[in-house]
């Protein structure tokens, strides 16, 4: 088995054990969505009008759960030092950690997103669009969240710092994803918004591992 495969198995195991895995994120997502009719009332037309936007906002917040332990556990027990000295570049290690986080948390949230949105009144025909947009957005959330987690290493209030750093960066995917879904349900051109969301997610995948690796090296020095 290759070194990369061993690392991927390790990170998937840690991501599942960290903060309850997918159960905590999906549970928070569903619970927050269920509270919406209690606040706005049961009027179907009112819920349908805000279902896409609310789904994206709650999805971004649910993606932040358990991010503070992505690098912190390895930093505390010395495993991060061993990973930095291993055969794989620290940038690859950071990318694998984020992909494991997306697999364990982001992918289940993307699967739950169409169910929640349709339950709030979104058209059933938009389920595939919501799934695709949530999957791309979740990928961006995982890598941006990993960047915040790396920057928060050795901080006393890491969770708060992650939220302060990451939440502004989550604004573009929320805008692009919400616009793609709204345009699709409204019969308007949606390709540009989805393309921008995909471009943003791919840029996060390509660039943020370097920021994470630099932050980890800074915390180790």
Distance CA 68, CA 154 (A): 11
Query: Which of 115-129, 185-199, 205-219 is predicted with the least confidence, judged by mean pLDDT?
Result: 115-129
Q: What is the pLDDT confidence band of residue 186, given thresholds at 50, 70 and 90?
A: confident
pLDDT of residue 210: 94
pLDDT of residue 1: 58
Q: What is the pLDDT confidence band of residue 201, given thresholds at 50, 70 and 90?
A: very high
Q: Which residues of 67-104 are buried (b: 16+ CB within 10 A; e: fewer)?
A: bbbbbbebbeeeebeebbeeebebbbbbbbbbbbbbbb
Tell me the whole-structure pTM to 2 decimals.
Answer: 0.88
pLDDT of residue 157: 61
Q: What is the DSSP letter of 118?
A: H
Higher pLDDT: 156 or 198? It is 198
CA 68 to each of CA 65, 148, 149, 159: distance values in angstroms, whole numbers, following the listed order: 8, 8, 5, 6
For 29-72, how does the pLDDT look when each residue is reduced to its tens digit (9 = 90+)?
A: 888 888 877 777 767 777 777 777 778 888 888 888 777 778 88
For 133-142, how does the pLDDT look when each residue is reduced to its tens digit (9 = 90+)?
A: 999 999 999 9
First to last CA, the chain: 32
Question: Residue 97 above 80 pLDDT?
Answer: yes
Domain boundaries, the chain: 3-220
Q: Is 152 helix (H, G, I), strand (E, B) or coil?
A: coil
Question: Residue 189 above 80 pLDDT?
Answer: yes
For 39-48, how does the pLDDT look when each residue is reduced to its tens digit (9 = 90+)?
A: 777 677 777 7
pLDDT of residue 19: 55
Higher pLDDT: 150 or 23? It is 150
Q: What is the pLDDT confidence band of residue 106, given thresholds at 50, 70 and 90?
A: confident
Helix segments in 41-170, DSSP class H: 44-63, 72-77, 79-85, 90-101, 107-119, 127-151, 158-169
Q: Region 102-127: what's the mean pLDDT? A: 87
Tokens encoding 170: 């989550």
Q: What is the pLDDT confidence band of residue 154, given thresholds at 50, 70 and 90?
A: low
The two counts, helices (H) then strands (E), for the chain are 11, 0
pLDDT of residue 16: 79
């Amino acid at each position: 088995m290759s070194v990369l495969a061993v690392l991927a198995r390790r990170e998937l195991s840690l991501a599942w054990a960290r903060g309850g895995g997918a159960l905590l994120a999906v549970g928070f997502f569903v619970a927050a969505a269920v509270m919406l009719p209690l606040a706005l009332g049961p009027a179907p037309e009112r819920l349908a009008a805000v279902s896409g936007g609310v789904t994206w906002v709650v999805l971004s917040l649910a993606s932040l759960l358990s991010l503070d332990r992505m690098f912190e556990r390895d930093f505390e027990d010395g495993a991060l030092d061993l990973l930095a000295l291993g055969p794989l570049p620290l940038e690859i290690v950071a990318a694998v950690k984020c992909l494991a986080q997306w697999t364990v948390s982001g992918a289940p949230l993307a699967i739950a997103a169409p169910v929640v949105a349709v339950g709030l009144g979104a058209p059933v025909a938009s389920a595939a669009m919501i799934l695709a947009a949530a999957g791309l957005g979740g990928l961006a959330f995982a890598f941006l969240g990993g960047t915040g987690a790396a920057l928060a290493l050795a901080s006393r209030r890491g969770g708060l710092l992650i939220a302060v750093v990451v939440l502004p960066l989550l604004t573009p995917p929320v805008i692009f994803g919400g616009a793609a879904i709204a345009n699709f349900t409204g019969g308007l051109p949606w390709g540009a918004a989805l393309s921008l969301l995909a471009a943003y997610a791919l840029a996060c995948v390509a660039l943020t591992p370097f920021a994470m690796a630099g932050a980890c090296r800074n915390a180790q020095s």
